[in-house]
Amino acid sequence: MRRGSFRLIVTLLVAVAYRGTMLAAIDELRRNKAPFVNNLPPIRTLTENQVMTDKIRMRQRGHLSIPFRILLVLASCLICTGRATAQPSLIGRSKEAIQGTKPGRRVDAVRAGRFLVDPPTLENLGFRWYVSGDSNRNATVAVAYREKGDSEWTGALPMLRVYHEIANQDYGPYRVGNLFAGSVLFLKPVTTYEVQFTMRDPDGGAPSEPKLVSVATRGEPIASAGNVIHANAPAGLMAAYAKARPGDTILIHAGLYNGPFEFKKSGEPGKPIAFRGAGDGEAILQGGGTGGKSRIVSIAGTDHLMFEDLTFRSAHMAIYSGKPGSAGITIRRCRIKDVVYGINTQAKDSRDWYVADNEIVGINRTWYPRPEAYMSPAHTGVNVYGRGHVVCYNRISRFSDSLAIANFGPPVDDVEQHCVAIDFYGNDLSWAQDDTIEADYGCHNVRVYRNRCYNTHTALSTQPFYGGPVYLIRNEAYSITALTFKLNNYPAGILAYNNTVCCARQGFTPPAIWQNGHFRNNLFMGGSGYAMETGSPTPYSTLDYNGYRRNSEERFLKWIDSDRHIGRYQSVEELHRATGLEQHGLQVDYDIFAGARSPKEGETYSPADYDLRLKPQANCVDAGTSIPQVTVAFSGTAPDLGCYEQGHDPPHYGPRE
């Protein structure tokens, strides 16, 4: 038995001998802020009345009250001396043992450990810095960057402090690590950057000098100048593939090519084997229909292949890579239709896929209401797992989930194989019976930004997320029927900045179980019920500079704090006075937009039906806070709330011409 646990038990037994009730002793220890006891799970079988009765009994035995309190204070000091780390607690339903990181003893001084550079993507660089200590969570890591050769540094977002939050508490609890994680965002492709990390801790232990790394972003993959091999329907595709070597391009001429095709020969880095439509008509790769388990293309364990300007149709799955996964796969300017799954890799070793400018259409005939049969008939448009994937500028519709990280389960033990550095941006996503975007089961440095989501049950999902950060930035969501943010299953590490989300029901209503989340400059627009009904079990989660649409005279804001106290508030100011949240929050309405009204549940909209740009006189213009790399070049005295800044053109969504 650990010494800290022994001291706790002895203290409680002594307290019971004096007072005759275990619950009262625990309550008194909590009142004296003994950290070990503050992290005990709640005693659910005892009522609040029983707690109060025990307190009254203690105070009625007057002559022992002072000695008893002194005893408890001394016991609390002993427990503090034991230095058991105050960890985020397990409050979910699962009875399984907690997987993941085992916490150490409480040490407030930080000690820097392993530093990892995540796989670079085209626009972003991700980093992780593992530490020990800093049990009081007051260490920080500031980040600055510059192009190599420049003299001036630019400030980036600080790294997110990740500290042993327990994700997925109802179905498979997993304790995340002790680290800092973060990304340098919105960079130039094929450019080398120097990035500087400065760790500070008032308790000591941080490195005396900043850490400096040099990393290059990736470029869009290109075919190399190898041989050109022609494929035609009579001879078949596999005959041409048999002749191909790394760097070669197979031009697929117009016609129907019946699968399945299993490609086992890889290209090489910088020398992919490319399959490209010849441009003389539609080159169609066809499966065996949606009713079975047919796949058109299987590439498990095959690397560095490129598919461009092709049509894939009529299959359970168009392109699939199972174990052991694939690296360097490009799928660009393709049309995928009449499928249950579009593109799917669920292997932890898949890496550096580039999925761009595709049109991907499932077989769902409607998006509302949700069918009784979950995730059917069509499942997911693009489903990826691994590291370094970029999924951008696609149009995906008529699936249950449009775009997702695969439901892999808890991370593996090797942190270098965690699901990190995945980018979803510029996508046009609609007609989703469940979620347009799922970042579920990611770990660190997942970036979801500048996507358009509409006609869906849920817009943005992170259920669960293992540590963070997951960046949700400048996404537009309209005609949402249930959840704008699905933060179920105890996700940890959510950074949501400058999103505009419009729901037929409540504006912001994830379950009160998301952890280490920070929301800034968002517009939460609802149609009924509370504007906000949520909360967080981590007291360091924050909300500020957000706008809320009032949907009801009786109900406005509801917050459940880390002590599980439920508060209901009739104004943003009242919420701030009670909780410290939303010091700069606003109440807004649909008249802030150039042309939008509250969406009706289940009604199908086209992007031409609404305009979520802000009117110049809207109260949310110049009402935000400056966020490094997110709100640069704002046009007024301060950044605007929502996804569109005044004076800036909306981004491009869907395939580029």
Rounded to 5°, angle at Cα 175 from 140 and 6: 95
Closest CA to 422 of 643, 119, 76: 119
Enumerate the β-bridge partners of residue 423. 390, 447
Closest CA to 344 of 325, 321, 363, 365: 321
Enumerate the β-bridge partners of residue 501. 477, 524
Q: Domains in the chain and their CATH numbers?
A: 3-82 (no CATH), 99-216 (2.60.40.10)
What is the tens place of the pLDDT at every residue in 280-322? 999 999 999 998 889 999 999 999 999 999 999 999 999 999 9
Residue 87 reports pLDDT greater than 80: no
Torsion of the alpha carbons at 311, 317, 319 and 320, rounded to the nearest 10: 180
Encoded tokens for 538: 């981590």
Encoded tokens for 162: 């990740």
What is the tens place of the pLDDT at every residue in 178-235? 999 999 999 999 999 999 999 999 999 999 999 999 999 999 999 999 999 999 999 9
Residue 258 reports pLDDT greater than 70: yes
Residue 62 reports pLDDT greater than 90: no
SS3 649: coil
- Please give the pLDDT value at position 155: 98
* CB-count exposure of residue 574 (10 Å: 0-12, 13-18, 19+): middle
Q: Using a pLDDT cut of 70, give the percent of the chain over it.
A: 87
* Comparison of pLDDT for 385 and 635, the residue scoring more: 385
Residue recorded with tokens 């797992």: 385
CB atoms inside a 10 Å sphere around CB 134 = 25
Residue 414, C-beta contacts closer than 8 angstroms, at least 6 positions apart? none
Q: What value does the CA radius of gyration of the chain take, rounded to a whole number of Å?
A: 27
3-class secondary structure per residue, 501-547: EEECCCCECCCCCCEEEEEECCEEECCCCCCEEEECCCCCCEEECCE
Average pLDDT over every residue of 24-41: 37
Phi–psi pair at 481, nearest 5 degrees: -95, -20
Rounded-to-integer distance, Cα 467 and Cα 465, Å: 6
How long, in residues, is the chain? Answer: 657
Pair 287, 295: CB distance under 8 Å = yes
Closest CA to 177 of 131, 228, 226, 234: 131
Encoded tokens for 22: 């275990």
Residue 346, C-beta contacts closer than 8 angstroms, at least 6 positions apart? 322, 383, 385, 406, 407, 408
What is the tens place of the pLDDT at every residue in 260-275? 999 999 999 999 999 9
Enumerate the β-bridge partners of residue 47. none
Residue 121, C-beta contacts closer than 8 angstroms, at least 6 positions apart? 217, 218, 388, 389, 390, 421, 423, 447
Rounded-to-integer distance, Cα 407 and Cα 624, Å: 35
Helix (H) or strand (E) holding 453: strand 452-461
Phi–psi pair at 569, nearest 5 degrees: -135, 140
Q: Read off the pLDDT band of 373 (50, 70, 90).
A: confident
The whole model's pTM is what? 0.88
Angle between helices 22-31 and 48-60 (to 10 degrees): 80
What is the tens place of the pLDDT at every residue in 451-470? 999 999 999 999 999 999 99
Rounded-to-integer distance, Cα 543 and Cα 546, Å: 7
- Please give the pLDDT value at position 88: 83
Angle between helices 22-31 and 65-82 (to 10 degrees): 70
Torsion of the alpha carbons at 605, 606, 609 and 610, rounded to the nearest 10: 90
Helix ranges (H only) for 230-315 are 237-243
Residue recorded with tokens 């996964």: 325
Q: DSSP letter at 243? A: H
Q: DSSP letter at 591? A: G
Rounded-to-integer distance, Cα 611 and Cα 594, Å: 6
Rounded-to-integer distance, Cα 167 and Cα 517, Å: 13
**Poorest-confidence range of 39-48, 348-357, 551-560, 620-629?**
39-48
Q: DSSP letter at 608? A: G
Pair 481, 601: CB distance under 8 Å = yes
- Please give the pLDDT value at position 242: 97
* CB-count exposure of residue 69 (10 Å: 0-12, 13-18, 19+): middle
Torsion of the alpha carbons at 22, 28, 34 and 37, rounded to the nearest 10: 30
Rounded-to-integer distance, Cα 365 and Cα 368, Å: 10
Q: Using a pLDDT cut of 90, give the percent of the chain over it.
A: 83
- Please give the pLDDT value at position 37: 33
Residue 1 reports pLDDT greater than 70: no
Rounded-to-integer distance, Cα 468 and Cα 516, Å: 9
Rounded-to-integer distance, Cα 637 and Cα 657, Å: 36
Helix (H) or strand (E) holding 18: helix 3-19
Pair 175, 101: CB distance under 8 Å = yes
C-alpha torsion sign, points 277, 282, 283, 285: positive
Residue recorded with tokens 């979803």: 424
What is the tens place of the pLDDT at every residue in 585-603? 999 999 999 999 999 999 9
What is the tens place of the pLDDT at every residue in 234-243? 999 999 999 9
Pair 403, 437: CB distance under 8 Å = yes
Q: Read off the pLDDT band of 554 (50, 70, 90).
A: very high
Pair 273, 297: CB distance under 8 Å = no
Rounded-to-integer distance, Cα 275 and Cα 202, Å: 57
Rounded-to-integer distance, Cα 357 and Cα 177, Å: 36
Helix ranges (H only) for 342-414 are none
Rounded-to-integer distance, Cα 637 and Cα 649, Å: 19
Residue recorded with tokens 């896929």: 353
Residue recorded with tokens 């009142």: 31
